[in-house]
C-alpha cells in the first residue's frame, strides 16, 4: 500500500488532472466517513488530517495544500474574488503569453481534505516521522527508475526573471497609484517582461497575472524578489558543487543545506501572498530530495512543512551561498592548477624515459622537482597516487639527491614505502636482463654479505640482489628520519661484510657519517643515488669500489 501511495504522490507532482481526481477521491472518503460517524466526527477527522505534515514535493492546486510546499489547510488560497465594481487598472491579459488560463478545480467541500494530505494520512496513519528526512522511498532500491532531475540551469534563469517580475509587480502598483501614464510608462514594461518570459520554457510569471494576489504591504514583493534571487543563486551553486558524476563533498553538503533553506524561504514568501506554490521552488525541492537520497546525504533542515525558513532572512542565506560559491571556485581553481602541474611532470618524465641514459636531463628533473614542490605546498600528500604513477617509472634513473628539495625527497621516500609494502603477488615487473657489470660485480661479491642502509626493506628487490650478485646475505637496515647511528656499527664491523651500500635518497644527511664506521673497519662505502635494480647497484659498486674489492679478494686468495 505504501508503494502505491508513493507512486501517486510522485505522479501528482506534475499532473494537475490527477491532483483533481485525488482531491475528489478524498472528498468521497470524507463523505463516507460522515455517513458512518456523523457530521461532527467527519469534521474532527478532517482537522486531525490537517495536522499531518510531510516534506514531499507534491504540486497543489489553488484549492489543495501541498505539505511539501509549506501550506496547511487553514491557509488554502481563496478562489479569485469577483472583479470589483470600480475600474481596474489595465494589466497583462491571460492570452498575452504571460498569464496562464485558470484551470483550478472547483473548491472542495467543507469536510474534504486536500489530496496530498489524504495520501499522507493513509500512508502514515499508524506512525509519524520523528525526524525530517530527504531519503527516497524503498521503491527506488527495488529497481524503480527515478524521475529525471530538474534542470537547475533553467530554474536559475526562470527564478531570476521571476525576481524581476516580483519587483515590477510592486513598482507597477506604485506607479499606477501615483497616476503614471499606462500607455507610456506601464505598458512598455509589461510587454518587455512578457517577451522575455516567452523565451524561457515553462516560465509563468504568476505574480504579474492581473488576478494575482496583491498584498497590502508592498515590501512583501521585495522579499519575494529576494527569495527568487536566492533560489537562483542556490541553483547555480548546486550545479557548481555537484557537476555530473562528481562525488559528494563537504562543500556539496553545505550547498544542499543552504539550497533547502532558500527554497523553504521562497515557499514561505509565496504562502504569505496567499498564492499557489511556485513550480521552480518545487523543482529545487525535488532535486534536493532525489539527489540527497541517491548520494546518501542528509539535509537536516527546511525539508518539512513544519520547518520553514523566514522569508526576510534571504539576504543572510544569499551571503552564505556566496561564501560557499567562493570556496567552490577556489577549490576548482586549485584542482585546475594541480592538473596543470601534473601534466607538466608527465611531459618532463616522458622526455627522461625516452632516453634515460642521456646525461643532460638536469632541466627535466628540475622542472619535475618544482612542480612536485608546488603540489605539496598546496596540500597534495607525498603519498599521492597521481605523483607515484608519474615518478615510479623514473625510480632507477634518479640523479644525485642534492638536486632535489627536502619536500621532493619525501615523495621518493613514500614511493619506497609503497614498494616495500606491496604484496609479492602484486609485483608485475619482469626480471631485468643482467648486464656485464652485474656479472662482474657478482664475481667480486659471490658468497659475501652486503649491508644496505636506507629506505624500507623490499622483499622482491632483496631477492633480486641476492640472486643477481650471488650474495650469501643482504643485511638490509631500514631507516627512519633522525635515527641514531649507534646501531649501524655492529652491522658494518662483521668480518663477512664485503661492502656497505647507502641508499642516500631516503637517508638524512647525517647518515653520511656512517663512513667513519666503514673506514674504521676497512669496508668500502657505496652511495646509491638510484634505485635497487641490480644493474644500477652493480654499476655503482664497480664505479666506486671495484679496485678495493679486487684487492680484498687477492689478499684472501
Sheet with 473-477, edge to edge strand ranges: 473-477, 449-453, 497-502, 525-527
Q: Tell me what pLDDT residue 356 has.
A: 79
Q: Residue 314: its pLDDT value, please?
A: 96
pLDDT in tens, 29-43: 655 544 544 444 334
Assigned domain for 410 exists: yes
Residue 438 has phi, psi (to 5 degrees) of: -65, -45
The total of other beta-carbon atoms located within 10 Å of residue 469's CB is 25
Neighbours of 520 (CB within 10 A): 11
What distance in Å separates the CA atoms of residue 24 and residue 270, rounded to the nearest whole number? 25
168 lies in the same domain as 52: yes
The reply to whether 323 falls in a domain is no
Cα–Cα distances in Å, from 335 out to 262, 341, 378, 379, 380?
A: 28, 10, 10, 11, 10
Residue 317 lies in a domain: no
* Domain end marker among 392, 421, 450: 421
Same domain, 22 and 149: yes
pLDDT at position 30, please?
57
- Give 10-residue mean pLDDT values along the chain (557 residues): 70 71 69 49 38 32 34 37 41 40 43 47 39 38 64 96 96 93 93 94 92 89 96 96 80 94 96 94 95 88 93 96 93 88 93 82 90 90 91 78 76 77 47 78 92 82 90 86 71 90 63 78 83 84 87 67
Give which of 291, 250, 313, 274 is closest to 57, Cα–Cα: 291
Are residues 214 and 280 located together in one domain of the fold? yes
The answer to whether position 322 is within a domain reads no
Give the integer Cα–Cα distance in Å for 154 and 144: 26
Which of the listed residues 395, 421, 447 is the one where a domain comes to its end? 421
pLDDT of residue 168: 95
Helix (H) or strand (E) holding 477: strand 473-477
Give the strand pairing for 449-453 and 497-502: parallel
- Residue 409 placed within a domain: yes
Q: Which residues contact 98 (CB under 8 A, 6 or more apart)?
A: 92, 190, 193, 194, 197, 205, 208, 209
User: How many Å apart are CA 156 and CA 229, to the nearest integer?
Assistant: 8
For residues 193 and 294, state if they share a domain. Answer: yes
Which domain CATH number covers 542? 3.40.50.2300
Beta-carbon count within 10 A of 423 CB: 8
> Cα separation of 283 and 478, whole Å?
60
Domain end position, chosen among 421, 445, 472: 421
Residue 183 lies in a domain: yes
Give me the sign of the Cα torsion angle 92, 96, 99, 105.
positive
State whether 92 and 145 are in the same domain.
yes
328 in any annotated domain: no
Are 511 and 456 found together in one domain?
yes
Residues 6+ apart with CB under 8 A from 291: 149, 242, 256, 297
Q: How remote is the C-alpha of 144 from its chain's centroid?
A: 25
Q: Are both 187 and 243 inside the same structural domain?
A: yes
253, 353: one domain: no
Report the number of distinct structural domains present in the chain. 3
Whether residue 319 lies inside any domain: the answer is no
Burial 366-381, CB ≥16 within 10 A → b, else e: ebbbbbbbbbbeeebe
Which residue segment(s) compose the domain that 488 sits in? 436-556
Q: Are residues 301 and 205 in the same domain?
A: yes
Are residues 178 and 134 part of one domain? yes
pLDDT at 243: 81
* Per-residue DSSP letter, 186: I
Residues in the chain: 557
Verify that 281 and 133 share a domain, yes or no: yes
Measured CA distances, 191 to 93, 184, 442 (Å): 11, 11, 93
- 250 and 147: one domain? yes
The angle that helices 534-556 and 459-469 make with each other, rounded to 10 degrees, is 40
Q: Per-residue pLDDT tens for 198-238?
A: 999 999 999 998 888 888 888 999 999 999 999 999 999 99
Three-state helix/strand/coil letters over 511-535: HHHHHHHHHHHCCCEEECCCCCCHH
Amino acid at each position: 500500500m505504501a508503494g502505491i501511495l508513493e507512486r501517486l504522490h510522485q505522479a501528482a507532482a506534475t499532473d494537475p488532472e490527477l491532483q483533481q481526481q485525488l482531491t475528489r477521491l478524498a472528498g468521497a472518503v470524507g463523505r463516507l466517513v460522515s455517513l458512518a460517524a456523523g457530521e461532527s466526527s467527519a469534521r474532527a477527522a478532517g482537522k486531525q488530517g490537517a495536522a499531518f505534515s510531510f516534506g514531499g514535493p507534491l504540486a497543489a492546486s489553488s484549492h489543495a495544500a501541498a505539505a511539501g510546499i509549506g501550506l496547511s489547510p487553514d491557509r488554502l488560497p481563496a478562489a479569485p474574488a469577483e472583479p470589483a465594481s470600480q475600474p481596474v487598472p489595465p494589466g497583462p491579459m491571460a492570452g498575452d503569453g504571460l498569464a496562464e488560463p485558470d484551470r483550478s478545480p472547483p473548491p472542495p467541500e467543507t469536510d474534504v481534505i486536500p489530496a496530498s494530505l489524504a495520501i499522507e494520512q493513509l500512508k502514515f496513519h499508524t506512525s509519524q516521522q520523528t525526524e525530517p528526512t530527504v531519503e527516497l522511498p524503498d521503491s527506488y532500491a527495488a529497481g524503480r527508475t527515478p524521475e529525471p532531475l530538474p534542470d537547475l540551469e533553467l530554474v536559475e534563469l526562470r527564478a531570476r526573471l521571476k525576481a524581476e517580475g516580483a519587483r515590477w509587480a510592486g513598482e507597477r502598483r506604485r506607479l499606477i497609484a501615483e497616476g503614471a501614464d499606462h500607455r507610456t510608462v506601464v505598458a512598455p514594461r509589461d510587454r518587455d517582461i512578457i517577451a522575455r518570459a516567452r523565451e524561457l520554457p515553462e516560465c509563468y510569471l504568476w505574480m504579474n497575472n492581473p488576478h494575482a494576489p496583491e498584498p497590502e504591504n508592498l515590501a512583501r514583493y521585495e522579499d519575494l524578489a529576494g527569495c527568487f534571487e536566492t533560489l537562483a543563486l542556490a541553483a547555480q551553486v548546486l550545479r557548481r558543487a555537484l557537476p555530473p558524476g562528481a562525488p559528494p563533498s563537504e562543500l556539496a553538503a553545505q550547498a544542499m543545506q543552504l539550497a533547502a533553506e532558500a527554497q523553504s524561504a521562497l515557499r514561505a514568501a509565496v504562502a504569505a501572498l496567499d498564492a499557489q506554490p511556485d513550480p521552480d521552488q518545487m523543482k529545487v525541492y525535488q532535486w534536493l530530495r532525489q539527489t540527497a537520497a541517491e548520494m546518501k546525504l542528509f539535509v537536516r533542515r527546511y525539508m518539512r512543512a513544519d520547518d520553514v525558513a523566514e522569508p526576510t532572512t534571504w539576504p543572510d542565506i544569499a551571503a552564505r551561498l556566496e561564501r560557499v560559491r567562493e570556496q567552490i571556485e577556489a577549490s576548482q581553481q586549485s584542482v585546475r592548477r594541480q592538473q596543470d602541474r601534473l601534466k607538466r611532470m608527465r611531459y618532463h618524465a616522458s622526455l627522461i624515459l625516452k632516453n634515460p641514459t642521456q646525461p643532460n636531463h638536469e632541466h627535466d628533473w628540475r622542472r619535475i622537482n618544482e612542480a612536485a614542490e608546488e603540489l605539496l605546498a598546496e596540500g597534495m600528500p607525498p603519498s599521492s597516487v597521481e605523483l607515484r604513477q608519474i615518478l615510479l617509472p623514473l625510480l632507477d634513473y634518479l640523479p644525485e639527491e642534492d638536486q632535489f628539495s627536502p619536500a621532493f625527497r619525501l615523495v621518493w621516500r613514500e614511493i619506497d614505502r609503497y614498494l616495500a609494502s606491496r604484496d609479492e603477488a602484486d609485483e608485475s615487473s619482469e626480471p631485468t636482463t643482467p648486464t656485464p657489470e652485474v656479472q662482474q660485480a657478482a664475481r667480486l661479491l659471490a658468497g659475501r654479505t652486503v649491508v644496505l642502509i636506507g629506505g624500507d626493506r623490499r622483499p622482491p628487490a632483496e631477492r633480486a640482489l641476492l640472486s643477481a650478485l650471488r650474495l650469501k646475505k643482504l643485511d638490509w637496515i631500514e631507516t627512519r628520519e633522525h635515527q641514531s647511528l649507534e646501531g649501524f656499527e655492529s652491522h658494518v664491523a662483521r668480518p663477512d661484510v664485503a661492502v656497505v651500500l647507502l641508499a642516500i635518497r631516503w637517508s638524512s644527511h647525517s647518515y653520511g657519517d656512517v663512513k667513519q664506521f666503514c673506514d674504521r673497519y676497512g669496508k668500502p662505502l657505496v652511495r646509491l643515488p638510484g634505485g635497487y635494480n641490480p644493474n644500477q647497484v652493480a654499476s655503482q659498486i664497480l664505479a666506486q669500489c671495484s679496485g678495493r674489492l679486487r684487492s680484498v679478494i687477492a689478499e684472501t686468495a
